[in-house]
């Protein structure tokens, strides 16, 4: 069973299965993301200026991710890495088998040499992900849903990819509130599939509320 792949569910009633009225969720996405963009506008402008002053490179980083229906979209973030990040990652993984093994199982590094000093700050506070509110307004993403996967991660999803593609990727999700970077990619898939079975407006609101202390207390963030 897929549920055995991951930790215990953070949901209050894991046995209750509901079908979500997706129209309601989309309305909530638009209203809440627009309000959040207005509220965080001063902070986002400040971060954008700081990134530009830091090294003169691009402010935003847009990476191709797999979205609803299997379509790709540019997932937006404030740039938290050096400009030649991909080349630097390849060099580090080639020289360190232990790091390469961790990357292959978690798709993250506990210590990432690509991240700038400013990038470390905005990552720890999840400020780097605020531009994804624009993705939500565009309809590429939802506030709640499985975290968007990279093109290279499609094969890792295996037979569960088709089910992932029935959902809009989210800014937050069960993975975000259940352990985040300390969980393996396999556990992340299990939580995504659990969310797919349990999604409803109440689950959507529950995950949003639970995300707040996780972000403020920086739980599960490396």
Higher pLDDT: 92 or 142? It is: 142
How would you list the strands of the sheet with 60-66, edge to edge?
72-78, 60-66, 149-150
Q: Which two tokens stand for residue 39?
A: 């509220």
Distance, CA of 192 to chain centre = 12
pLDDT at site 38: 96
The rounded mean pLDDT for the chain is 84
Would you place residue 181 in the very low, low, confident or very high pLDDT band (cuts 50, 70, 90)? low
Among positive and negative, which fits the CA dihedral 19, 22, 23, 24? positive
- Tell me if 78 sits within 8 A of 142, measured CB to CB: no
Would you place residue 217 in the very low, low, confident or very high pLDDT band (cuts 50, 70, 90)? confident
pLDDT 10s digits, 121-167? 998 888 999 999 999 999 999 999 999 999 988 988 989 999 999 99
Helix (H/G/I), strand (E/B), else coil: 85? helix
Percent of the chain with pLDDT over 90: 52
Q: How far separated are the first and last CA of the chain, in Å rounded?
A: 29
Would you place residue 219 in the very low, low, confident or very high pLDDT band (cuts 50, 70, 90)? low
Q: Which of 202, 197, 199, 178 is nearest to 188 (CA)?
A: 178
- Residue 221, pLDDT > 60, answer no
Q: For the chain, how many residues are written?
A: 222
Higher pLDDT: 134 or 82? It is: 134
**Residues 209-216, mean pLDDT to the nearest whole number:** 88
pLDDT at site 21: 52
């Amino acid at each position: 069973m897929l549920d055995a792949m991951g930790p215990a569910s953070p949901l209050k009633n894991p046995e209750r299965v509901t079908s979500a009225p997706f129209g309601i969720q989309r309305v909530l996405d638009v209203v809440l993301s627009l309000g959040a963009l207005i509220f965080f506008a001063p902070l986002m402008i400040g971060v954008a200026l700081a990134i530009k002053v830091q090294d003169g490179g691009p402010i935003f980083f847009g990476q191709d991710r797999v979205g609803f229906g299997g379509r790709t979209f540019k997932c937006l973030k404030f740039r938290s890495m050096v400009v030649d990040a991909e080349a630097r990652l390849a060099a580090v993984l080639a020289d360190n088998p232990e790091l390469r093994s961790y990357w292959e199982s978690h798709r993250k590094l506990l210590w990432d040499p690509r991240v700038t000093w400013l990038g470390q700050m905005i990552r720890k506070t999840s400020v780097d992900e605020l531009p994804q509110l624009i993705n939500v307004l565009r309809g590429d993403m939802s506030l709640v849903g499985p975290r968007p996967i990279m093109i290279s991660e499609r094969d890792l999803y295996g037979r569960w990819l088709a089910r992932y593609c029935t959902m809009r990727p989210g800014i937050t999700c069960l993975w975000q509130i259940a352990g985040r970077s300390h969980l393996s990619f396999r556990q992340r898939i299990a939580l995504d599939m659990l969310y797919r079975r349990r999604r409803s407006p109440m689950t959507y609101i529950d995950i949003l509320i639970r995300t707040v202390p996780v972000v403020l207390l920086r739980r599960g963030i490396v």
